């Protein structure tokens, strides 16, 4: 497995792959890798001849400085996992390499509506940071395809929209959420839960499943707020602090779901200090 720290080094690797007419699949990560990331790698390997993974804790997408400071950095362990998974090359730049003029002076990419709605309204600036760093990786690596997890549902929708709007020439592949047997979605944030919180955490997904069943039983999606509020109360009553549960159209992410056949429950809740997110798509 090749490793590159600078833009020149990764571009050299990309040039070799392109010279050999190899297709390139990209998986962008912030490290602290788990089974969810490895599923992205496997999907990229199925669809491309060479797979490049980026590991970069992107300061531009953190709305809380404390989160950036405490974000787990486990580079040695991550590289070992990627080597074992058969990844071809890993790009591990520093913030100085990605943002040489500093964050304040960095040109940024903003996807209208999606960047500032839903999760974006709760985390100002977060999605501009994501869109900017992902578009920089697309420009640096010029992949044929890139894989993103459905766990970050709005992020995936935003990236698809950005690719279309900016005419990036690549295919975006969405990869289903990988869950523990108890339903908890794999996430780097789970590592920050205490043993007691880790035992409680699967109730978050269970609550979404229950809400999904209740919504499916309704004659239509016209008056769902009372049902959603019940789930918020249940979650809060069992030790979580719900940040948001919203049901939107699964394709457009519009809150107008009266005619929708496919909706998605987007949920965020704190368990102690850790903010968990999850989602569930429901089809009629």
Residues that bind ligand PAF (CB under 6 A): 28-30, 58, 61, 130, 133-134, 152, 155
Give the shortest CB-117-to-ligand PAF separation in angstroms: 17
Please, which residue, 128 or 155, has the CB nearer to ligand PAF? 155
Q: What is the rounded CA–CA span in Å between residue 246 and residue 250?
A: 11
Among 220, 214, 215, 208, residue whose Cα is nearest residue 259: 220
- Extract the tokens encoding 76: 């040695």
Q: What is the rounded CA–CA span in Å between residue 282 and residue 262?
A: 6
Give the shortest CB-251-to-ligand PAF separation in angstroms: 20
DSSP-derived secondary structure for 217-274: HSSSSSS-HHHHHHHHHHHHHTT-EEEEEEEEETTT--S--TT-SEEEEEEEEEETTE
Please, which residue, 130 or 232, has the CB nearer to ligand PAF? 130
Give the shortest CB-192-to-ligand PAF separation in angstroms: 15
Show Cβ contacts of residue 42 under 8 Å, excluding neighbours closer than 6 positions. 85
Chain-centroid distance of CA 241 in Å reads: 21
Give the shortest CB-30-to-ligand PAF separation in angstroms: 4
Torsional class of 198: left (φ above 0), alpha (ψ -120 to 50), beta (otherwise): alpha
How are the residues of the chain apportioned to helix, strand and coil, as percentages rounded to the nearest 5?
45, 20, 35
264 and 251 in contact (C-beta within 8 Å)? no
Please, which residue, 24 or 134, has the CB nearer to ligand PAF? 134
Look at the chain and count its residues: 284
Give the shortest CB-2-to-ligand PAF separation in angstroms: 20
Please, which residue, 158 or 264, has the CB nearer to ligand PAF? 158
Please tell me which residue in 37, 126, 180, 205 is annotated as part of the active site.
37
Q: Mark whether 37 is an active-site residue.
A: yes
Q: What is the rounded CA–CA span in Å between residue 227 and residue 201?
A: 21
Give the shortest CB-96-to-ligand PAF separation in angstroms: 16
Please, which residue, 156 or 282, has the CB nearer to ligand PAF? 156
CA distances from 202 to 100, 159, 177 (A): 41, 28, 14
Please, which residue, 150 or 152, has the CB nearer to ligand PAF? 152
- Map residue 179 onto helix, strand or coil: strand
* Residues with catalytic function: 37
């Amino acid at each position: 497995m090749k490793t590159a720290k600078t833009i020149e080094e990764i571009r050299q690797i990309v040039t070799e792959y392109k010279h050999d007419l190899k297709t390139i699949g990209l998986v962008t990560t912030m490290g602290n890798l788990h089974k969810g990331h490895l599923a992205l790698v496997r999907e990229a390997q199925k669809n491309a001849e060479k797979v490049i993974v980026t590991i970069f804790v992107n300061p531009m997408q953190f709305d809380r400085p404390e989160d950036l400071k405490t974000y787990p950095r486990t580079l040695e362990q991550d590289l070992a996992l990627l080597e074992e998974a058969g990844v071809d090359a890993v790009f591990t730049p520093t913030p100085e390499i990605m943002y040489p003029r500093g964050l304040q002076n960095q040109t940024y990419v903003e996807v209208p509506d999606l960047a500032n709605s839903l999760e974006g309204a709760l985390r100002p600036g977060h999605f501009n940071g994501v869109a900017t760093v992902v578009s920089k990786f697309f420009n640096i690596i010029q992949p044929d395809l890139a894989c993103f997890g459905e766990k970050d549902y709005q992020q995936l929708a935003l990236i698809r929209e950005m690719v279309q709007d900016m005419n990036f020439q690549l295919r975006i592949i969405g990869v289903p959420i990988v869950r523990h047997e108890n339903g908890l979605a794999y996430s780097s944030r789970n590592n920050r839960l205490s043993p007691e919180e880790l035992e409680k955490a699967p109730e978050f997904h269970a609550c979404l499943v229950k809400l999904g069943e209740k919504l499916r039983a309704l004659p239509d999606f016209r008056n769902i707020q009372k049902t959603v509020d019940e789930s918020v109360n249940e979650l809060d009553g069992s030790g979580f602090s719900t940040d948001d549960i919203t049901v939107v159209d699964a394709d457009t992410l519009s809150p107008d779901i009266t005619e929708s056949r496919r909706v998605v429950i987007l949920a965020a809740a704190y368990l102690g200090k850790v903010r968990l997110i999850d989602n569930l798509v429901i089809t009629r």
